[in-house]
Amino acid sequence: MKIYRSEPEPATLLIPPCKDLPVRRLPERNSLRCRGEQDDTTQRANLSIMHHPIDPKIDCVFKALLGSETNRNLLIHFLNAMLSEDLSSLIVEVKILNPYNEREFLEDKLSIVDVKARDQNERLYQIEVQLLVLPELPARILYGWADLYSAQLASGEDYTELTPTYAIWLVGETLLPKVPGYAHRYQFRDNQGRTLVDHGAIAVFELTKFTAEQVDTEAERWLKFFIEGEHLDPDNLPDWMQTPEMQQVMSIMNEFSEKERAYHVYQARQNYLRQQKSVTKRIQALTAEAARERMEKERERAEKERERAEKERERAEKERERAEKQAALAEIARLKALIKGRPTD
């Protein structure tokens, strides 16, 4: 069994459809809202100029946006948008399995920062943002999906209890430099494109490759927000941000900017991630330096081996010349002996 990736069509679909799944457009935004969602007027009233720029990709902000019980409507809207071509039915209710807890980020720098949820049809979802791309990330992505999928079964339960599981990863650096497109969707299929089991998918979005100026889908709206959100002015939002959901996310961002405790959490996480990135870059630099030294030693070894081989060749050449000279002298001696009429050995 092989894992195949399908690419999106340019500027029309974020995640390409399966051959056996029809293309569906998202319904109007109102149908993606759930009970308790604040209306546009309320959201606008909560906005003010942020004192501090807030990056929505920082894990504590990301989880507050999509992993908070009070913002479940945003999670529902996000999932319906990003998985519009995968889901057989829209998500209308979700249960967050690891809800956002501000204290976690204050007390534990290694707190779990992904969002896990289950919808009304028992389908499972994992959402994670990864700012730093390391070589082991693809394996980590697959392992995270497999872990969530396999954790469904308790001891003695039947495989028929398994339900589709979806993983969504927003990646802050280029993960697949040789692969075109920013959206990549993975499922279990054979070499003829036939699905082994329709039990979910892994969707990876490389934010560095997303350059759309115009927003045509709700998925593109979310991606553009995560890329440009840090630099948006709440009092002068662009047209593509003029939706109830985007007003709500800006209100949440404003809370991180204005409230001292929330901003302290944000700064602590940002500083930790910066340190982590610095340490990782230092490790990468040391690894690269060690590789260069190893290559240099290998080059020197190869050079010495070449010199040794050259000396061996010269020695063999001299030995050959000596042997030829001895053979020539022996032949001369034989000929002289023949001339004198004396037999030779």
pLDDT at 134: 86
To 10 degrees, the CA torsion angle through 47, 49, 50, 56?
60
Give a yes or no: residue 132 inside a domain: yes
**Burial state string for 154-184 with b = 16 or more CB within 10 A and e = fewer than 16:** eeeeeeeebebbbbbbbbbeebbeeeebbbb
Is residue 50 one of the residues assigned to a domain?
yes
The one-digit pLDDT tens for each residue of the chain (345 residues) are 444 454 444 333 333 333 333 333 444 444 334 434 444 444 444 444 456 788 999 888 899 899 999 999 999 999 999 999 899 999 999 999 988 776 665 555 545 578 999 999 999 999 999 988 888 999 999 999 999 999 999 888 899 999 999 999 999 999 999 999 999 999 999 999 898 999 999 999 999 999 999 999 999 999 999 999 999 988 899 999 999 999 999 999 888 777 655 555 665 666 666 666 666 677 777 777 888 888 888 888 888 899 898 999 989 899 988 888 888 888 888 888 888 876 555
Distance CA 118, CA 105 (A): 23
> What is the amino acid identity at position 134?
L
Give the Å distances, CA to CA, from 120 to 55, 123, 222: 31, 7, 23
Residue 41 counted as domain residue = yes
Q: Helix and strand tally (H, E) in the chain?
A: 8, 7
pLDDT of 287:
78
DSSP string, 150-194: HTTPPTT--GGG---EEEEEEESS-S-TTS-SSEEEEEEE-TTS-
Residue-level pLDDT at 288? 79
The CA–CA distances, whole Å, from 16 to 47, 139, 156, 198, 338 equal 36, 23, 37, 15, 95
Q: How many of the other CB atoms lie within 10 Å of CB of 65?
A: 24
Residue 104 within a domain: yes
Distance, CA of 142 to CA of 93 (rounded, Å): 26
Is residue 304 in some structural domain?
no
Total residues found in the chain within this entry: 345
Give residue 67's pLDDT.
Answer: 93
Q: What pLDDT does 103 receive?
A: 65
Task: Count up the domains in the chain and report the number.
Answer: 1
Q: Does 203 fall in a domain?
A: yes
Give pLDDT, residue 337. 83
**Which pLDDT does position 270 carry in this prediction?**
63
Between CA 313 and CA 320 the distance in angstroms is: 10
* Residue 315 forms part of a structural domain: no
Is the residue at 287 inside a domain? no
Instruction: Give the pLDDT score at 2.
Output: 45
Contact 254, 113 (CB under 8 A): no
Q: Which domain holds residue 19?
A: 2-258
Is pTM beyond 0.75? Reply is no
pLDDT of the residue at 272:
61
CB-CB contact of 60 with 270 (8 Å): no
d(CA 318, CA 312): 10
